Amino acid sequence: MSETVIRIENLGKKYLIRHQQRERYTALRDVLANKFKSLGKRLISLQPHSSDLQPSREEFWALKDVSFEVKQGDRIGIIGRNGAGKTTLLKLLSRITEPTTGRIAIKGRVASLLEVGTGFHPELTGRENIFLNGAILGMTKKEIRSKFDEIVDFSEIEKFLDTPVKRYSSGMYVRLAFAVAAHLEPEILLVDEVLAVGDASFQKKCLGKMEDVSTKEGRTVLFVSHNMGAIQSLCKRCLLIQKGNLIQDNSAQAVVQAYLDDSKASNVLSRCEQENGKPTIVSGTLEQKREEVIFKLRIVSNEARNVSIDLRLKDRLGNPVGFGSLGALDSTRMIRLLPGSTFVSFSMATSSLACGIYLVSLDVSLPEVEFYDRLDSCFSFELVRPPSKGAGRVVSQKWGYGSVEIPLTLVQIEQMNRA
pLDDT given at position 23: 45
The 3-state DSSP class for residue 207 equals: helix
pLDDT given at position 356: 80
pLDDT given at position 87: 87
**What are the Cα distances from residue 251, in Å, to 4, 81, 180, 254, 255?**
18, 19, 30, 5, 6
Superfamily of domain 60-262: P-loop containing nucleotide triphosphate hydrolases (3.40.50.300)
Are 281 and 297 in contact, with CB atoms under 8 Å apart?
A: yes
CATH class of 268-417: mainly beta
Would you give the distance in Å from CA 181 to the centre of its chain? Answer: 19
Distance, in Å, from the CA atom of 64 to the CA atom of 35, rounded to the nearest integer, reads: 40
Would you give the distance in Å from CA 343 to the centre of its chain? Answer: 22
Distance, in Å, from the CA atom of 267 to the CA atom of 100, rounded to the nearest integer, reads: 33
pLDDT given at position 33: 64
pLDDT given at position 19: 52
pLDDT given at position 197: 59
pLDDT given at position 268: 84
pLDDT given at position 53: 45
Same fold, 60-262 and 268-417: no
Spell 398-411 as b/e; 16+ CB within 10 A means b: ebbbbebbbebeee
pLDDT given at position 29: 57
From the CB of residue 23, how many other CB atoms can be counted at a distance below 10 Å? 8
Residue ranges per structural domain of the chain: 60-262, 268-417
Greatest Cα-to-Cα distance within the chain, rounded to the nearest angstrom: 77
From the CB of residue 66, how many other CB atoms can be counted at a distance below 10 Å? 23
pLDDT in tens, 40-88: 656 555 544 444 445 566 788 989 999 999 999 999 999 988 778 898 9
pLDDT in tens, 127-145: 998 998 888 777 788 888 9
The 3-state DSSP class for residue 390 equals: coil
The 3-state DSSP class for residue 273 equals: coil
The dihedral formed by the CA atoms of 391, 393, 397 and 399, expressed in degrees to the nearest 10: -110
pLDDT given at position 419: 57
Are 67 and 246 in contact, with CB atoms under 8 Å apart?
A: yes
pLDDT profile of the chain (419 residues), mean per 10: 87 77 52 62 52 62 93 92 86 90 91 71 90 81 90 89 87 84 84 68 82 87 86 90 92 86 70 84 90 93 93 86 89 92 93 84 89 88 61 49 70 76
Report how far apart the first and last C-alpha atoms of the chain are (Å, whole number).
Answer: 63
pLDDT given at position 263: 61
From the CB of residue 207, how many other CB atoms can be counted at a distance below 10 Å? 20
